[in-house]
Structure 1
Amino acid sequence: MVLPILRRFMGGMSRYRLIILMLAMAFVLFTTVSAFAQTAGGTDAAAPATPQEGVFSLIVKSSDFITYTILILSVIGLTLIFQGFMQNRSAVFMPETSTNTIREMISQRKFRELIEFTETDPSFVSKALNPALKRAPSFTPMKEAMETAIGEQTAEQFRKIEYLNIIGNLGPLLGLLGTVLGMIDAFQAMKASGGQADPSKLAGGISTALCHTFMGLFLAVPCLAAFGVLRTLVDRLTVRGALVAEELLLMMKPQEKPAAAPGGVAPRPGAVPQPAARKPPAPTPTPLPAT
């Protein structure tokens, strides 16, 4: 059930590539946590009388459904981050080869081949121009279709990275939920001992609460940071793609024919109409003298 949903958000990746990518992200996640835990656990190695557990061992001991949920979301978040930076590159989002091919076809007036090319080409410009080409030859419907396609493509790109924002906001909430549950366990231990609880028993619930808080923040920070960077990147790429698509569409705009003269003959380019020659006034007859 999870794989089809992820494939929809990943832009149609194959199932095997998606599984390999998620396993790689999980390996990176657990390697990072393990290295951090070893570093944290070895800071106080000079005091052998009071051995301390590392963060990773505490997380393992406090594992529950919240821990597993945060780990699953961490793998999904890292996969979305990797996929977002791979797809939102200029070479993938709007390759120059596609743009040059479209420009050449427009110059050669190969519109039938252009329609076939834009239907199969995955670039942003091709997806924006294809609906416009199907509304030819009227330029106004073509422009409206292109603007609609650009809006849909932009919204789709933002939807793909929006899940990083959702996961980043869920991380602290899940950590807070685990913190509350850990504190409840600590107070339950105090209640069971009649208010005289052993600090070592209270430490178990408190450490569980803090581990959940740590994991929630560990999930939220990279997801929210990557979401901010990707949002700026997507905005810049979509604006640039819209400008290129509009430029290519203007190359297909039909030239306006000059209006015909009232006599039915079109004026020559650059000819300035001359005013009609005025007839001289008729001479006024001189009256004859009276006899």
Structure 2
Amino acid sequence: MRLTRTSPCSRQNSPRDTSNPQAEPNGQPRYCTTRNDTSPARSRARSTNRMTDTVLTQSLTLAAESGEVHRSLLQYILKGGPIGMIIILISLVAIGMIGAQLFRIRRERLAPPDLLADLRSLLGDGNIDGAIKRSSDEPGSSYLARVVGTGLTRASRSAFGMLELRSSVDEIGQLEVDRLYRLTDGIGLIASVAPMLGLLGTVVGMVGAFDAITLSDGPARPDELAGSISQALITTVLGLIVAIPCTAMYTFLRNRIDHLTTEIDEQIEEIISPLEAAGGSEAANQ
């Protein structure tokens, strides 16, 4: 039953409103009927607001009682369950790999200054055997030692002599660049696997939430769903936290390899140029 409220019509009625005269023919004032807004849409909106307020209040109360309003980082990690712990473990592996590659992929490591100076002096004097020995004696087998030493050894054993030196150096250089690339593949693998593990944790958490709904007597309480939903969200966050920096470092290290090896190749070309010129002169004389 709808409630109505009657009041005298306002004297501010528009003159054009002929359907609502201010007075009846007998001179008595005419009363207007105003209906309360009890439309179904507004009723549903008010009901939804009340339910939302109730759920939020219950959630905050449960969180306050269980001490979950303020969590430490370790508590968030533990909420991720076994999959979250796996993501943390591979993140530690990734940190170790990134640190090792940052130490290895350096100019001083790839082309030691003292080795470069010695090779320049030896090859400038035409001492190929001395340059090969100096490269093989270099500790750590740097990029410069591998490329120059192997290239000189292959060229000295070839029937074409030093004419084949440049092609040998280029081939060995490409092989060494590929070897350096492979050292960073583990970082790229972790960058790809981490978000997949996070997605797996999300699926497992949502399955647990639906199981809680199925096994509960009546409507599931928020505290019955909170654990599974927390695991679902936290594993996704952990996977992204690991994947994003790993992807960035993987790209950075690859670009660094390209940049440094290109500069070192230019220096190698400079120090082998006298040998190529000498080899061309010998071939012309023969």
Q: TM-score, normalised by structure 1?
A: 0.68
Question: Which residue in 2 is equivalent to 1:129?
Answer: 148
Q: Distance in 1 between matches of 2:86 and 2:192?
A: 14
Question: Which residue in 1 is equivalent to 2:281?
Answer: 256
Structure 2 counterparts to residues 48-197 of structure 1, below 5 A = 51=67, 52=69, 53-64=71-82, 66-121=83-138, 122-134=141-153, 135-136=155-156, 138-194=161-217, 196-197=219-220
Query: 1:243, CA displacement in angstroms?
Result: 1.5
Query: 1:58, CA displacement in angstroms?
Result: 3.3
Could you say if the C-alpha distance between residues 48 and 124 of structure 1 is closer, same or farther in structure 2, counting changes exceeding 3 Å? same
Report the RMSD for the aligned CA atoms in angstroms.
2.4
Could you say if the C-alpha distance between residues 206 and 168 of structure 1 is closer, same or farther in structure 2, counting changes exceeding 3 Å? same
Question: Which residue in 2 is equivalent to 1:213?
Answer: 236
The code of the aligned residue for 1:127 comes to R
Return 175-184 or 125-134, whichever deviates more.
125-134
Question: Which residue in 1 is equivalent to 2:262?
Answer: 239
Q: Distance in 2 between matches of 1:159 and 1:257?
A: 40
Query: 1:174, CA displacement in angstroms?
Result: 0.4
Contact 1:119 1:130 (8 Å CA) reproduced: yes
Question: Which residue in 2 is equivalent to 1:19?
Answer: none
Q: Distance in 2 between matches of 1:164 and 1:179?
A: 23
Query: 1:139, CA displacement in angstroms?
Result: 2.3
Query: 1:195, CA displacement in angstroms?
Result: 5.4
Query: 1:237, CA displacement in angstroms?
Result: 0.7
The code of the aligned residue for 1:60 comes to L
Q: Distance in 2 between matches of 1:205 and 1:234?
A: 44
Contact 2:79 2:230 (8 Å CA) reproduced: no
Q: Distance in 2 between matches of 1:258 and 1:102?
A: 24
Q: Distance in 2 between matches of 1:200 and 1:194?
A: 14
Contact 1:84 1:161 (8 Å CA) reproduced: yes
Return 154-163 or 130-139, whichever deviates more.
130-139
SS at match of 1:82: helix
Deviation track 1:160-207 (CA, whole Å, cap 9, x = no partner) reads 112211111111110000010000000000000155111101011000
Q: Which runs of 4+ in 1 moved over 6 A?
A: 47-50, 257-260
Could you say if the C-alpha distance between residues 192 and 146 of structure 1 is closer, same or farther in structure 2, counting changes exceeding 3 Å? same
Query: 1:222, CA displacement in angstroms?
Result: 1.6
User: Percent identity, aligned pairs only?
Assistant: 25
Return 126-135 or 77-86, whichever deviates more.
126-135
Query: 1:56, CA displacement in angstroms?
Result: 2.1
Q: Find the structure with the greater CA-based Rg.
A: 2
Q: Distance in 2 between matches of 1:170 and 1:116?
A: 44
The code of the aligned residue for 1:56 comes to L
